[in-house]
Amino acid sequence: MPLVNFAVSGAGTGVAQTVAVAGADYVIETDAYEAFGGQDKHPSPLAYTLASLSSCNQVTSSIVAKELGITIDAVKFDVSSDFDPTVMTTGRGTADATFQNLVITAEITTDATPEQFATLRDDTARRCPVSVLFARAGVKITNDWTQVTPS
């Protein structure tokens, strides 16, 4: 399969930025929390990072479910992580400042068997590009998935 190119271009002032997505008719607005010098008018890059993880898990689980021949009726992903801003804001500390203790909590409404659900969870974690980025960065990831039976 050929590589798919993703490209963005960002410009701004201070800590706020407008990011254009190549080939798209929309832009992404970013800002920072007031503690980081922003006005908190738009999601921060860190919030977008966790949002990317959530939505990437949903997209990947949809692909995996189709391959497994199962139906997903609904999904709910909650993503949380700790972040130490010391290196970013002061320059002091370790060079590997990143998220820590990342937890992905998912409620998936699906007709999958228990074995299929385990495959769905594990293959999603293995194949989701954003999950892989976190894992390769050395972030400890907990995938806490619960299956909900369709009514």
The dihedrals phi and psi of 106, each to the nearest 5 degrees, come to: -130, 140
Q: 100 with 142, same domain?
A: yes
Residue ranges making up the domain that contains 144: 45-148
CATH number, domain with residue 100: 3.30.300.20
Q: Are 53 and 106 part of one and the same domain?
A: yes
What's the total number of domains in the chain?
2
Report how far Cα 77 is from the mean position of its chain's Cα atoms. Answer: 10
Question: Same structural domain for residues 96 and 56?
Answer: yes
* Same-domain pairing of 84 and 128: yes
Q: Please give the DSSP secondary-structure letter assigned to residue 28.
A: E
pLDDT in tens, the chain (151 residues): 899 999 999 999 999 999 999 999 999 999 999 988 999 999 999 999 999 999 999 999 999 999 999 999 999 999 999 988 888 888 887 766 689 999 999 999 999 999 999 999 999 999 999 999 999 999 999 999 999 998 8
